[in-house]
Amino acid sequence: MTGLPLDRVTAPRVKVGLVAGGLGAYWPQFPDLLPQLRASAERVSERMRGLGADVVDVGFISDAQEGAVAAEKLRAAGCDLIVGFLTTYMTATMLVPIAQRSGAPVLLINLQPTESMDHESFDTGQWLAYCGACPLPEMANAFQRCGVPFRSVSSHLEDERAWTKIGRWVRAAGVRGALRHGRHGLMGHLYPGMLDVSTDLTLVSANFGGHVEVLEFDDLRVRVEKVTDSEVKAKKDQTTEIFELADSVNDDDLTWAAKVSVGLDRLVEDFELDSLAYYHRGLDGEMHERLGAGMILGASLLTARGIPAAGEYELRTSLAMLIADRLGAGGSFTELQALDFHRGHVEMGHDGPAHLAISARRPLLRGLGVYHGKRGYGVSVEFDVKHGPVTAFGIIQRRDGHYAFVASEGETVDGPHLQIGNTTSRVDFGCDPGEWTDAWSATGISHHWALGTGHRIADLRALADLMETDLVEVRL
């Protein structure tokens, strides 16, 4: 997601707490063992930092007392993920308190030094350096009985497949942290009649954590009124650098959209927002209608910077877009548009904000004299998500108030597109488009979702695990 003249927001780095350990009774018995295990622990710390994590390394523990000290350090550090490195046998009393007190998800890793022991030459001390698998069932039993969820990765120290799995947990922990600490704007009011979009704000905090900031369109209005001519010119210059402009773009409409965009930037900054969902109907060309109609440019620019903005008051989709963005997938505001049974494609997209950084080509800005289903007029974004692997991803709100993830992997492909100022992508899910649409709808997904680049089911499965929520995968 590069190449645009936009400054992406700097997301906080994931904070990983690392504790390595082994049974202290071994150290006087096998003097060469502890130095070897410490070296492995340092290598793990180095690799963790290579995954982009800030590592809180509390060192090597050898008994329950040292485990208690480590537990307090990690509790105070406020980590997003706790990694327990089982270097050799260790007792459950050394790690259970750490897991209980930290308040963070726990990942246990068992990475022996190499793929296999040299059985003919190894003595007991050398074998014990390969014995990290031994305590894993003990930890699993104790954690389950204590009601502490955990997950594990078992392999050898330099196995890239293992580090791919570990990296997935680290990324998921970072996204979980973004949700738990996020500030999500909700501005305007519900699109009339869209029962699926309606969201109980308390459920956001209950399921994900974070804070929903309820905003009025007047919060935007007062900021737009203070935008200067020079700021509008700078925003228009940025727009012409990023977009191809269709002949239908009216300069007055572009100027207004640029002015609203500057106001949106200030709104996001003033309220420290990580995402935004919005809608306002307005009446007869008055200010609030004009603001609502002028949102698409600014919302698209925000989304490309890593501050997803979704129209139609679709809060759960702005959250899905945030998750997709933090996983590196982009995540563009999307709904069903049509089914192409001749080519076997599902056509999906939206009239409104788009994630410009995942466009297949230079995005187009088209002038529209009317927005279908919405009041007002102005400029709108037209683009196709870049071709290749993609994941449709959304958040379900179930009847009992619990959230769940739903996702489906496919491929965006070439084909004809309408030229009506909408984002539109043709997605091949490898099956009849009607059957896919029925299966997708049967999950309880709402009107909208995020469409992101890459196949992301594995990452989403890790995130669902850390957040203790369900992931429904649609695959036919």
Please write the tens of the pLDDT for every residue from 381-399. 999 999 999 999 999 999 9
- Domain's final residue, options 140, 161, 179: 179
pLDDT score, position 372: 66
Query: Do 69 and 141 sit in the same domain of this protein?
Result: yes
State phi, psi for 33 to the nearest 5 degrees. -75, -50
The answer to whether position 9 is within a domain reads no
Chosen domain end from 152, 179, 206: 179
Torsion, Cα 436 442 446 449, to 10 degrees, reads -30
Instruction: Decide: helix, strand or coil at residue 449.
Output: strand
pLDDT of residue 139: 97
Q: What is the DSSP letter of 279?
A: E
Q: Same domain for 123 and 80? A: yes
Crossing angle for the helix pair 457-466 and 160-180, to the nearest 10 degrees: 60
Only one residue has tokens 């550090």, namely: 77
Looking at the fold, whether 379 and 291 belong to one and the same domain comes out as: yes
Do the domain assignments include residue 7?
no
Q: Could you give the percent of the chain with pLDDT greater than 70? A: 99
pLDDT reported for residue 351: 84
- 370 pLDDT more than 90: no
Position 2 scores a pLDDT of 52
Q: Are 230 and 298 in a shared domain?
A: yes
DSSP secondary structure string for all residues of 140-157: HHHHHHTT---EEEEEET
- Classified as helix, coil or strand, 476 is coil
Residues 302 and 333 in one domain: yes
pLDDT given for residue 373 in this prediction: 65
Q: Which helix (H) or strand (E) holds 266?
A: helix 251-271
212, 282: one domain? yes
Q: Kindly report, residue by residue over 432-464, the tens digit of the pLDDT.
A: 999 999 999 999 999 999 999 999 999 999 999
Residue 84 maps to a domain: yes
Instruction: Write the DSSP assignment of 367-413 as a string of letters.
Output: EES-BTTBS--EEEEEB-BPSEEEEEEEEEE-TTS-EEEEEEEEEEE
Q: Is 3 left (phi over 0), alpha (psi -120 to 50) or beta?
A: left
Distance CA 418, CA 424 (A): 8
> Where in the sequence is the domain holding 457, given as residue range(s)?
182-473
Percent of the chain with pLDDT over 90: 90
Is residue 372 included in any domain, yes or no?
A: yes
| In a shared domain, residues 198 and 306 | yes
Burial class (CB in 10 A: 0-12, 13-18, 19+), 299: buried
Contact (Cβ atoms closer than 8 angstroms) between residue 295 and residue 278? yes
State the pLDDT confidence band at 5, using cuts at 50, 70 and 90.
Answer: confident
Q: Are residues 242 and 186 in the same domain?
A: yes
pLDDT in tens, 94-143: 999 999 999 899 999 999 999 999 999 999 999 999 999 999 999 999 99
Rounded to an integer, the average pLDDT of 330-337 is: 96
Examine the pLDDT at 238 and tell me if it is beyond 90. Answer: yes
Question: Could you tell me if residue 8 is inside a domain?
Answer: no
Average pLDDT, the chain: 95
Q: What is the mean pLDDT of residues 320-341?
A: 97
| Residue-by-residue DSSP string for 9-44 | --PPPPEEEEEEE--TTHHHH-TTHHHHHHHHHHHH
In a domain, 96, yes or no: yes
Count of domains for the chain:
2
Q: Are residues 229 and 250 in the same domain?
A: yes
Pair (216, 243) in one structural domain: yes
Question: Quick one: 82 and 94 in the same domain?
Answer: yes
Residue whose C-alpha is closest to residue 261's, from 238, 288, 287, 284: 238
Q: What's the whole-model pTM score?
A: 0.95
Q: How many Cα atoms occupy the beta-carbon half-sphere of 323 within 13 Å?
A: 32
CATH number of the CATH domain containing 146: 3.40.50.10940
Find the CATH number of the domain harbouring 436.
3.20.14
233 lies in the same domain as 143: no
Cross-sheet strand order for the sheet of 378-382: 244-245, 364-368, 378-382
- pLDDT of 1: 47
Q: Which residues, at least 6 apart from 25, have a Cβ–Cβ distance to it below 8 Å?
A: none
The answer to the question of residue 235 being in a domain is yes
2 falls within a domain: no
Last residue within a domain, chosen from 179, 205, 238: 179
From the list 452, 447, 445, the residue with the least C-alpha distance to 473 is 445
